[in-house]
A = this chain, B = another copy of it.
C-alpha cells in the first residue's frame, strides 16, 4: 500500500485477520501505519524507484491516497505489476476536470461546470449561472483545500494566475452532503453499504451518520446504483467513495476517492465487513463480504487536533481525557492514529452505535470533542468523574517509532 497514513494503519488491522502481509510505502518511520506494520519501505510516492521497491514481490499494489503520478503506475503495469485501482481509473480521483468530462460522457448527475483558462471564461460562466461560482484546482485538493468561492472577475484572475487552469462550477444549493461507498473486485463483484450523511466543518469531515437520517429508500437506492455504475464504467478495483451533494432534485456527484475513505470508518464496528477488509478482498480478488449493519445507527466523529493540541494547553492531558472517555462511554470505540498532536490534524476517531440517531450522534460528537478540546459538550453533559491518577506513567499516545534494537535476521534465535 502506497502511503503510511491512518488508512494504511487501519487496513493493516484488517490484513492481519486475512492472514495477509501489508507492506507500506511510508515517508518516515513515524508515519501512522509505519508504527504498526512489520513490513515498511521508506520512500516517496513520486519516486519511481521507491514505487518499484514496494511493488517488488507484492501480489498487488494499492493506495491510501490518490497522489501517485499515473505515468509511474503505467510503468509499473508495463513491468508486470498488478495495480488496483489501475491508473486509468485512478486518474478520475486525481483530476477533477477528467472526472467531470467522464461523468458528462456517462450522463451522470453533477454540478454544471466548465474548464476555465481565463477570467473571461469565469465571467461568461457566471453570467449564465450567477455569482458566486466555485473555482477548484483540478489536482491536489483535499479536505477543502483547493476549493474557492469566487464573487467577481478580480478574485478569479488572482486564482488563475496562481494556479493555472481551473474547474469552475455552479454553487449548488445543497441540503447536505452524502457518501455512497462501493467495493468492486476484478471479477466484477460489487458490494454497497448504506448511503451515509457526511457533516463537514471548514471543509473537513467532522461526522458521519450511517445510514443518512431520513434519506428516502428511493434516493438511497439511486445513490447506490450511481456508485455502482461509476465503479463499473471506470473499472475501479477496490473501494470507491462517491461524495454527493443532496439537492431538491436528487444527488449530484461532487468527487471520488478510490481507497478506504473517512466516510467509511464507521464500518469497522458498524458493518459486518469493514471498508478496510473489503478493500483487501477486492484488490486481492476474493469474494466480497456482507455489508449488513450491526446496529440500526452508527455515528463516527473525527478527533481533530483542537484546543487541547495547542502548545499552551493547560487542561487535562490526553491520557486523562482518554480515561474520562472510557469511563463515561464504555461502549464508544476509540481509534487513535499515533500521530503527533497539531491543531486541525486528524488524530483519531470514535464510533458509537445504537438505535436513535440523535442520541448516538450526541454521544459520538461529545466524546470526540472532549478528546479534541477537553470541554464537556452541552448537548451531552456528563459529570466529569474524579480522575484517579493512575499508579504509573502511560505512553504518550504519540509517535513512538519502534527502537530497532533487534535486527530482524530470519532464522536468528
Binding site for B on A (CB under 8 A): 9-10, 12-13, 16-21, 23, 27-30, 34-44, 53, 57, 59-60, 82, 186-187, 272-273, 281, 284-290, 292, 294-295, 322-323, 326-327, 330-331, 333-338, 348, 353, 388, 390-395, 397, 400-413
A287–B323 touching, CB < 8 Å: yes
List chain B residues, Cβ under 8 A from A353.
272
A412–B285 touching, CB < 8 Å: no
Distance of A305 from chain B, by nearest CB (Å): 14
Cβ 8 A contact of A397, one of B19, B327, B388: B19
List chain B residues, Cβ under 8 A from A37.
36, 38
- Tally of this chain's copies: 2
Cβ 8 A contact of A334, one of B18, B41, B410: B18
Cβ 8 A contact of A20, one of B16, B42, B289, B395: B395
Known: A326-B289, A348-B19, A406-B40. A392 touches B59 (CB 8 A): yes
The CA of A37 and the CA of B348, in the complex, are separated in Å by 20
B290–A18 touching, CB < 8 Å: no
List chain B residues, Cβ under 8 A from A9.
16
Given A42-B412, A44-B413, A284-B394, 19 other A-B residues pairs in contact with their CB atoms under 8 A: A12-B36, A16-B36, A17-B334, A17-B335, A17-B336, A19-B336, A21-B395, A27-B413, A28-B411, A37-B38, A40-B408, A57-B403, A59-B393, A186-B390, A186-B391, A285-B394, A401-B408, A401-B410, A404-B408
A294–B294 touching, CB < 8 Å: yes
- Between-chain CB contacts (< 8 Å), 26 pairs: A12-B16, A12-B36, A13-B13, A18-B334, A18-B336, A19-B338, A21-B36, A21-B400, A23-B402, A29-B409, A29-B412, A30-B410, A35-B38, A36-B37, A36-B38, A37-B38, A42-B412, A57-B403, A273-B331, A284-B394, A285-B394, A289-B333, A290-B330, A290-B331, A292-B331, A294-B294
Known: A38-B37, A59-B393. A330 touches B408 (CB 8 A): no
List chain B residues, Cβ under 8 A from A331.
272-273, 289-290, 292
List chain B residues, Cβ under 8 A from A27.
413
Distance of A86 from chain B, by nearest CB (Å): 13
The CA of A23 and the CA of B400, in the complex, are separated in Å by 11
The CA of A337 and the CA of B20, in the complex, are separated in Å by 9
Cβ 8 A contact of A286, one of B13, B41, B326, B400: B326
List chain B residues, Cβ under 8 A from A411.
28-29
- Of all chain B residues, which has the CB nearest A58? B395
List chain B residues, Cβ under 8 A from A338.
19, 21
